Amino acid sequence: MDSDDSDASETSVRDCITVAVLPEDLAAACTDSCRPERCDEATVRPHEEPGVEHGTPGSFTPFEVPEREADIGALPATPIDLFLRYVPYDVVDRWAEWTNAAGATAQRGPVRQHSRSKGWRPTSAHEIYLFLGILISMGLHTESQIFRYWSGSQDQEDPIYLFTRFISRDRFQLLLRRVQIFTPANFPDTTTPIGEKEDEGKGIPWGQVHCIPTKDGQINQFTWKDNALVLFLTTVFRETAEVLRLRRRPTGDSAAKKEARRVFGAEARKNLPIPLAIDEYNHNMNGVDTSDQMRSYYQYSRPIRRGSWQALAWNFLLEVVLVNTFFLQLWGDPNWPKVKSQYQWRRTLSAQLIQQFGPSAKARKHARPKRATDTRNDSIPWA
Protein backbone atom coordinates (compact mmCIF):
# COMPACT_ATOMS: atom_id res chain seq x y z
CA MET A 1 0.00 0.00 0.00
CA ASP A 2 1.59 3.28 -1.11
CA SER A 3 0.60 6.44 0.71
CA ASP A 4 1.05 8.37 -2.56
CA ASP A 5 -1.70 6.45 -4.35
CA SER A 6 -4.82 8.40 -5.08
CA ASP A 7 -7.08 5.93 -3.31
CA ALA A 8 -4.79 5.40 -0.30
CA SER A 9 -6.70 7.77 1.96
CA GLU A 10 -9.92 5.86 1.34
CA THR A 11 -8.73 2.27 1.62
CA SER A 12 -5.60 2.22 3.76
CA VAL A 13 -7.37 3.12 7.01
CA ARG A 14 -9.74 0.20 6.57
CA ASP A 15 -7.18 -2.27 5.26
CA CYS A 16 -4.24 -1.74 7.59
CA ILE A 17 -6.05 -1.77 10.91
CA THR A 18 -5.53 -5.34 12.04
CA VAL A 19 -6.14 -6.51 15.60
CA ALA A 20 -4.18 -9.42 17.10
CA VAL A 21 -1.53 -9.55 14.39
CA LEU A 22 0.51 -12.73 14.58
CA PRO A 23 4.30 -12.18 14.71
CA GLU A 24 4.86 -13.81 11.34
CA ASP A 25 2.18 -11.59 9.79
CA LEU A 26 3.35 -8.37 11.42
CA ALA A 27 5.88 -7.58 8.70
CA ALA A 28 3.24 -8.07 6.02
CA ALA A 29 0.74 -5.89 7.88
CA CYS A 30 3.21 -3.02 8.32
CA THR A 31 3.57 -1.01 5.14
CA ASP A 32 4.52 2.53 4.24
CA SER A 33 1.03 3.63 5.17
CA CYS A 34 0.72 2.04 8.60
CA ARG A 35 2.84 1.05 11.55
CA PRO A 36 2.34 -1.07 14.69
CA GLU A 37 1.12 0.66 17.81
CA ARG A 38 3.43 -1.72 19.68
CA CYS A 39 5.75 -4.49 18.56
CA ASP A 40 3.48 -7.26 19.76
CA GLU A 41 -0.01 -8.54 19.12
CA ALA A 42 -1.64 -5.15 19.13
CA THR A 43 -3.47 -2.87 16.77
CA VAL A 44 -1.66 -1.71 13.65
CA ARG A 45 -2.75 1.85 13.04
CA PRO A 46 -2.51 4.09 9.98
CA HIS A 47 0.61 6.19 9.55
CA GLU A 48 -0.99 8.96 7.53
CA GLU A 49 -1.97 12.57 7.82
CA PRO A 50 -5.30 13.18 9.59
CA GLY A 51 -8.25 12.90 7.26
CA VAL A 52 -9.98 16.14 6.30
CA GLU A 53 -12.78 14.76 4.15
CA HIS A 54 -16.23 14.72 5.65
CA GLY A 55 -19.84 14.32 4.66
CA THR A 56 -22.31 17.02 3.79
CA PRO A 57 -24.56 18.42 6.54
CA GLY A 58 -27.68 16.32 6.94
CA SER A 59 -26.12 13.18 5.41
CA PHE A 60 -25.90 11.36 8.76
CA THR A 61 -27.99 8.17 8.93
CA PRO A 62 -28.79 7.14 12.54
CA PHE A 63 -28.20 3.54 13.53
CA GLU A 64 -31.36 1.87 14.79
CA VAL A 65 -30.89 0.38 18.25
CA PRO A 66 -34.02 -1.57 19.26
CA GLU A 67 -34.63 -2.14 22.95
CA ARG A 68 -34.41 -5.77 24.00
CA GLU A 69 -34.29 -7.83 27.15
CA ALA A 70 -31.03 -9.34 28.34
CA ASP A 71 -30.57 -12.87 27.03
CA ILE A 72 -28.19 -15.09 28.99
CA GLY A 73 -27.44 -18.42 27.37
CA ALA A 74 -26.61 -21.72 29.01
CA LEU A 75 -23.82 -21.46 31.57
CA PRO A 76 -20.95 -23.96 32.01
CA ALA A 77 -21.11 -26.78 34.53
CA THR A 78 -19.05 -25.17 37.31
CA PRO A 79 -18.05 -21.66 38.44
CA ILE A 80 -14.42 -22.21 37.42
CA ASP A 81 -15.53 -23.24 33.92
CA LEU A 82 -17.37 -19.92 33.63
CA PHE A 83 -14.19 -18.11 34.68
CA LEU A 84 -12.18 -20.06 32.10
CA ARG A 85 -14.53 -18.83 29.37
CA TYR A 86 -13.13 -15.35 30.01
CA VAL A 87 -9.55 -16.44 30.73
CA PRO A 88 -9.11 -19.47 28.43
CA TYR A 89 -6.25 -21.90 28.77
CA ASP A 90 -4.66 -21.15 25.38
CA VAL A 91 -4.37 -17.45 26.31
CA VAL A 92 -2.77 -18.18 29.68
CA ASP A 93 -0.44 -20.70 28.04
CA ARG A 94 0.84 -17.91 25.80
CA TRP A 95 1.32 -15.74 28.89
CA ALA A 96 3.56 -18.49 30.24
CA GLU A 97 5.53 -18.60 26.98
CA TRP A 98 6.04 -14.83 26.98
CA THR A 99 6.97 -14.85 30.67
CA ASN A 100 9.58 -17.54 30.11
CA ALA A 101 10.94 -15.75 27.05
CA ALA A 102 11.33 -12.53 29.03
CA GLY A 103 12.73 -14.29 32.08
CA ALA A 104 16.11 -14.93 30.48
CA THR A 105 16.76 -11.20 30.00
CA ALA A 106 14.71 -9.78 32.86
CA GLN A 107 17.66 -9.20 35.19
CA ARG A 108 20.07 -6.49 34.11
CA GLY A 109 23.15 -5.40 36.00
CA PRO A 110 24.72 -6.97 39.09
CA VAL A 111 22.66 -9.36 41.21
CA ARG A 112 22.93 -9.56 44.97
CA GLN A 113 24.16 -12.78 46.50
CA HIS A 114 20.81 -13.73 47.98
CA SER A 115 18.57 -12.17 45.34
CA ARG A 116 15.36 -14.14 44.78
CA SER A 117 15.79 -13.60 41.04
CA LYS A 118 18.50 -16.29 41.09
CA GLY A 119 15.80 -18.81 41.87
CA TRP A 120 13.78 -18.08 38.74
CA ARG A 121 12.64 -21.10 36.76
CA PRO A 122 10.18 -21.35 33.86
CA THR A 123 6.51 -21.03 34.73
CA SER A 124 3.45 -22.75 33.29
CA ALA A 125 -0.20 -22.01 32.57
CA HIS A 126 -1.24 -23.95 35.68
CA GLU A 127 1.04 -21.84 37.85
CA ILE A 128 -0.34 -18.61 36.38
CA TYR A 129 -3.90 -19.78 37.10
CA LEU A 130 -2.75 -20.44 40.67
CA PHE A 131 -1.27 -16.92 40.66
CA LEU A 132 -4.64 -15.46 39.60
CA GLY A 133 -6.42 -17.38 42.34
CA ILE A 134 -3.98 -15.93 44.87
CA LEU A 135 -4.61 -12.38 43.65
CA ILE A 136 -8.35 -12.91 44.11
CA SER A 137 -7.79 -14.35 47.59
CA MET A 138 -5.56 -11.44 48.60
CA GLY A 139 -8.34 -9.05 47.62
CA LEU A 140 -10.64 -10.84 50.06
CA HIS A 141 -8.12 -11.10 52.90
CA THR A 142 -6.03 -7.96 53.26
CA GLU A 143 -2.73 -8.07 55.13
CA SER A 144 -0.56 -5.07 55.96
CA GLN A 145 2.54 -6.70 54.42
CA ILE A 146 2.79 -9.43 51.84
CA PHE A 147 5.02 -11.68 53.95
CA ARG A 148 2.22 -12.05 56.50
CA TYR A 149 0.33 -14.36 54.15
CA TRP A 150 3.18 -16.84 54.65
CA SER A 151 3.77 -16.05 58.32
CA GLY A 152 4.22 -19.03 60.64
CA SER A 153 4.33 -17.07 63.88
CA GLN A 154 2.95 -19.06 66.80
CA ASP A 155 2.86 -16.02 69.07
CA GLN A 156 0.52 -14.01 66.86
CA GLU A 157 -1.45 -17.04 65.62
CA ASP A 158 -1.49 -15.69 62.07
CA PRO A 159 -4.12 -17.33 59.85
CA ILE A 160 -3.04 -20.05 57.44
CA TYR A 161 -3.95 -19.42 53.81
CA LEU A 162 -4.59 -22.34 51.52
CA PHE A 163 -2.36 -21.09 48.71
CA THR A 164 0.77 -21.02 50.91
CA ARG A 165 0.88 -24.82 50.69
CA PHE A 166 1.33 -24.62 46.91
CA ILE A 167 3.65 -21.65 46.39
CA SER A 168 6.39 -19.93 48.37
CA ARG A 169 6.51 -16.21 49.01
CA ASP A 170 9.63 -15.73 46.90
CA ARG A 171 8.06 -17.58 43.98
CA PHE A 172 4.86 -15.52 44.19
CA GLN A 173 6.79 -12.26 44.26
CA LEU A 174 8.87 -13.38 41.29
CA LEU A 175 5.68 -14.10 39.35
CA LEU A 176 4.17 -10.78 40.41
CA ARG A 177 7.26 -9.07 39.03
CA ARG A 178 7.78 -11.09 35.84
CA VAL A 179 4.45 -12.38 34.54
CA GLN A 180 4.03 -11.05 30.99
CA ILE A 181 0.64 -10.89 29.30
CA PHE A 182 2.19 -9.48 26.12
CA THR A 183 5.18 -10.38 23.97
CA PRO A 184 8.51 -9.14 25.37
CA ALA A 185 9.97 -6.48 23.11
CA ASN A 186 11.81 -3.19 23.22
CA PHE A 187 9.40 -0.45 22.30
CA PRO A 188 11.06 2.52 20.57
CA ASP A 189 10.36 5.97 21.85
CA THR A 190 7.83 7.88 19.77
CA THR A 191 7.62 11.61 19.45
CA THR A 192 4.48 13.27 20.73
CA PRO A 193 3.03 15.72 18.21
CA ILE A 194 2.54 19.18 19.62
CA GLY A 195 -0.12 21.41 18.14
CA GLU A 196 -0.10 25.18 17.99
CA LYS A 197 -2.68 27.17 19.87
CA GLU A 198 -5.01 29.12 17.63
CA ASP A 199 -5.54 32.80 18.13
CA GLU A 200 -8.30 33.46 20.62
CA GLY A 201 -11.50 34.80 19.21
CA LYS A 202 -14.97 35.62 20.47
CA GLY A 203 -16.71 33.24 22.82
CA ILE A 204 -19.14 30.66 21.45
CA PRO A 205 -22.74 31.37 22.52
CA TRP A 206 -24.35 28.91 24.91
CA GLY A 207 -26.25 26.10 23.21
CA GLN A 208 -24.65 26.46 19.79
CA VAL A 209 -24.31 23.13 17.96
CA HIS A 210 -21.85 22.51 15.14
CA CYS A 211 -22.09 19.19 13.32
CA ILE A 212 -19.87 17.43 10.75
CA PRO A 213 -20.84 13.86 9.75
CA THR A 214 -18.24 11.44 8.44
CA LYS A 215 -17.97 10.88 4.71
CA ASP A 216 -19.94 7.62 4.85
CA GLY A 217 -22.67 9.25 6.97
CA GLN A 218 -22.45 6.63 9.73
CA ILE A 219 -20.91 8.74 12.51
CA ASN A 220 -22.15 12.11 13.68
CA GLN A 221 -19.43 14.44 14.98
CA PHE A 222 -20.66 17.52 16.74
CA THR A 223 -19.84 20.12 19.35
CA TRP A 224 -22.24 21.69 21.78
CA LYS A 225 -21.48 24.75 23.88
CA ASP A 226 -22.47 24.31 27.52
CA ASN A 227 -20.45 25.87 30.34
CA ALA A 228 -17.55 24.43 28.33
CA LEU A 229 -17.30 23.13 24.77
CA VAL A 230 -18.52 19.52 24.63
CA LEU A 231 -17.21 17.23 21.87
CA PHE A 232 -19.36 14.24 20.98
CA LEU A 233 -19.37 11.25 18.62
CA THR A 234 -22.57 9.30 18.08
CA THR A 235 -23.94 6.70 15.68
CA VAL A 236 -27.50 6.99 16.98
CA PHE A 237 -28.55 10.61 17.57
CA ARG A 238 -29.04 13.50 15.18
CA GLU A 239 -27.76 16.90 16.21
CA THR A 240 -31.25 18.38 15.74
CA ALA A 241 -32.87 16.08 18.34
CA GLU A 242 -33.34 18.14 21.50
CA VAL A 243 -35.11 17.93 24.84
CA LEU A 244 -35.97 20.61 27.41
CA ARG A 245 -34.19 20.32 30.72
CA LEU A 246 -34.08 22.54 33.79
CA ARG A 247 -30.63 24.09 33.91
CA ARG A 248 -28.90 26.06 36.66
CA ARG A 249 -27.11 29.32 35.92
CA PRO A 250 -23.35 28.78 36.30
CA THR A 251 -21.25 30.80 38.72
CA GLY A 252 -17.68 31.94 38.30
CA ASP A 253 -15.70 34.70 36.65
CA SER A 254 -14.25 32.84 33.68
CA ALA A 255 -15.09 34.03 30.18
CA ALA A 256 -16.91 30.77 29.40
CA LYS A 257 -19.11 31.06 32.51
CA LYS A 258 -19.93 34.69 31.75
CA GLU A 259 -20.92 33.75 28.21
CA ALA A 260 -23.10 30.89 29.48
CA ARG A 261 -24.92 33.17 31.95
CA ARG A 262 -26.27 35.40 29.19
CA VAL A 263 -28.95 32.92 28.17
CA PHE A 264 -30.30 32.80 31.75
CA GLY A 265 -30.75 36.54 32.15
CA ALA A 266 -31.91 37.26 35.69
CA GLU A 267 -33.23 33.72 36.28
CA ALA A 268 -31.30 31.31 38.49
CA ARG A 269 -32.87 28.30 36.75
CA LYS A 270 -34.37 27.97 33.33
CA ASN A 271 -35.73 25.28 31.00
CA LEU A 272 -33.35 25.16 28.05
CA PRO A 273 -33.01 22.83 25.05
CA ILE A 274 -30.06 20.46 25.08
CA PRO A 275 -29.10 17.79 22.49
CA LEU A 276 -30.80 14.44 23.09
CA ALA A 277 -27.42 12.69 22.87
CA ILE A 278 -26.12 14.79 25.78
CA ASP A 279 -29.26 14.13 27.81
CA GLU A 280 -29.03 10.36 27.28
CA TYR A 281 -25.39 10.41 28.31
CA ASN A 282 -26.15 12.42 31.46
CA HIS A 283 -28.86 9.96 32.51
CA ASN A 284 -26.86 6.80 31.79
CA MET A 285 -23.30 7.74 32.67
CA ASN A 286 -23.87 6.38 36.18
CA GLY A 287 -23.44 2.93 34.65
CA VAL A 288 -19.69 3.60 34.57
CA ASP A 289 -19.76 4.70 38.21
CA THR A 290 -21.67 1.55 39.16
CA SER A 291 -19.13 -0.57 37.31
CA ASP A 292 -16.25 1.16 39.10
CA GLN A 293 -18.01 0.60 42.42
CA MET A 294 -18.58 -3.11 41.79
CA ARG A 295 -14.93 -3.61 40.82
CA SER A 296 -13.56 -1.76 43.82
CA TYR A 297 -15.01 -3.88 46.63
CA TYR A 298 -12.51 -6.73 46.85
CA GLN A 299 -9.83 -5.98 44.29
CA TYR A 300 -6.13 -6.62 44.80
CA SER A 301 -5.13 -3.43 46.58
CA ARG A 302 -1.41 -3.75 47.14
CA PRO A 303 0.80 -1.05 45.52
CA ILE A 304 1.95 -1.87 41.99
CA ARG A 305 5.34 -0.43 41.09
CA ARG A 306 6.38 -2.62 38.17
CA GLY A 307 4.57 -0.93 35.30
CA SER A 308 1.15 0.58 34.73
CA TRP A 309 0.08 -2.42 32.64
CA GLN A 310 -0.16 -4.50 35.83
CA ALA A 311 -2.69 -2.10 37.31
CA LEU A 312 -4.67 -2.36 34.08
CA ALA A 313 -4.43 -6.16 34.03
CA TRP A 314 -5.07 -7.05 37.69
CA ASN A 315 -7.07 -4.07 38.97
CA PHE A 316 -9.24 -3.59 35.88
CA LEU A 317 -9.39 -6.48 33.42
CA LEU A 318 -9.35 -9.24 36.04
CA GLU A 319 -11.93 -7.33 38.06
CA VAL A 320 -14.18 -6.97 35.01
CA VAL A 321 -14.05 -10.75 34.55
CA LEU A 322 -14.98 -11.35 38.19
CA VAL A 323 -17.88 -8.88 38.15
CA ASN A 324 -19.22 -10.09 34.80
CA THR A 325 -19.14 -13.75 35.80
CA PHE A 326 -20.85 -12.88 39.08
CA PHE A 327 -23.76 -11.19 37.33
CA LEU A 328 -24.02 -13.89 34.66
CA GLN A 329 -24.59 -16.59 37.26
CA LEU A 330 -26.81 -14.28 39.34
CA TRP A 331 -29.11 -13.37 36.44
CA GLY A 332 -28.77 -16.61 34.49
CA ASP A 333 -29.68 -20.21 35.23
CA PRO A 334 -26.50 -21.82 36.59
CA ASN A 335 -26.02 -25.50 37.34
CA TRP A 336 -25.06 -24.62 40.92
CA PRO A 337 -26.90 -22.70 43.66
CA LYS A 338 -26.85 -19.01 42.78
CA VAL A 339 -24.24 -17.02 44.65
CA LYS A 340 -25.84 -13.85 45.98
CA SER A 341 -22.76 -11.90 47.11
CA GLN A 342 -19.58 -10.86 45.34
CA TYR A 343 -17.54 -11.88 48.36
CA GLN A 344 -18.81 -15.44 48.24
CA TRP A 345 -18.41 -15.61 44.44
CA ARG A 346 -14.78 -14.48 44.58
CA ARG A 347 -14.18 -16.85 47.48
CA THR A 348 -15.54 -19.74 45.44
CA LEU A 349 -13.52 -18.90 42.31
CA SER A 350 -10.33 -18.37 44.31
CA ALA A 351 -10.72 -21.70 46.09
CA GLN A 352 -11.45 -23.61 42.87
CA LEU A 353 -8.49 -22.05 41.05
CA ILE A 354 -6.13 -22.82 43.92
CA GLN A 355 -7.43 -26.35 44.46
CA GLN A 356 -7.48 -27.27 40.77
CA PHE A 357 -4.18 -25.75 39.66
CA GLY A 358 -2.20 -25.64 42.91
CA PRO A 359 -1.07 -29.30 43.00
CA SER A 360 -0.25 -29.41 39.26
CA ALA A 361 1.55 -26.03 39.26
CA LYS A 362 4.48 -27.54 41.18
CA ALA A 363 5.43 -24.07 42.33
CA ARG A 364 6.60 -25.40 45.68
CA LYS A 365 8.55 -28.58 46.28
CA HIS A 366 7.36 -29.04 49.85
CA ALA A 367 4.22 -27.80 51.54
CA ARG A 368 4.71 -25.41 54.43
CA PRO A 369 4.86 -27.40 57.68
CA LYS A 370 2.01 -26.90 60.09
CA ARG A 371 2.42 -25.41 63.51
CA ALA A 372 1.52 -27.53 66.48
CA THR A 373 -1.45 -25.26 67.16
CA ASP A 374 -2.69 -25.10 63.57
CA THR A 375 -6.33 -25.76 62.82
CA ARG A 376 -7.98 -26.08 59.45
CA ASN A 377 -8.40 -22.63 57.91
CA ASP A 378 -11.98 -22.02 56.78
CA SER A 379 -11.31 -18.62 55.22
CA ILE A 380 -11.19 -20.45 51.86
CA PRO A 381 -13.44 -23.52 51.37
CA TRP A 382 -11.65 -26.85 51.09
CA ALA A 383 -12.62 -29.55 48.64
Kindly report, residue by residue over 101-141, the tens digit of the pLDDT.
886 665 556 667 667 777 788 899 999 999 999 999 999 98
pLDDT of 197 reads 47
pLDDT of 20 reads 46
Domain range list for the chain: 8-46, 79-103+117-183+289-361, 209-285
More confident position, 87 or 21: 87
pLDDT confidence band for 372 (50 / 70 / 90): very low
Q: What predicted TM-score, i.e. pTM, was given to this entire model?
A: 0.65
Residue 3 scores a pLDDT above 50: no
Kindly report, residue by residue over 281-300, the tens digit of the pLDDT.
888 887 777 888 888 888 78
Which H, E and C letters describe the chain, residue by residue?
CCCCCCCHHHHHHHHHCCCCCCHHHHHHHCCCCEEECCCCCCCEEECCCCCCCCCCCCCCCCCCCCCCCCCCCCCCCCHHHHHHHHCCHHHHHHHHHHHHHHHCCCCCCCCCCCCHHHHCCCCCHHHHHHHHHHHHHHHHCCCCCHHHHHCCCCCCCCCCCHHHHCCCHHHHHHHHHHCCCCCCCCCCCCCCCCCCCCCCCCCCCCCCEEEEECCCCCCEEEEEECCCEEEEEECCCCCCCEEEEEEECCCCCCHHHHHHHHHHCCCCEEEEEEEHHHHHHHHHCHHHHHHHHHHHCCCCCCCCCCCHHHHHHHHHHHHHHHHHHHHHHHHCCCCCCCCCCHHHHHHHHHHHHHHHHHHHHCCCCCCCCCCCCCCCCCCCCCC
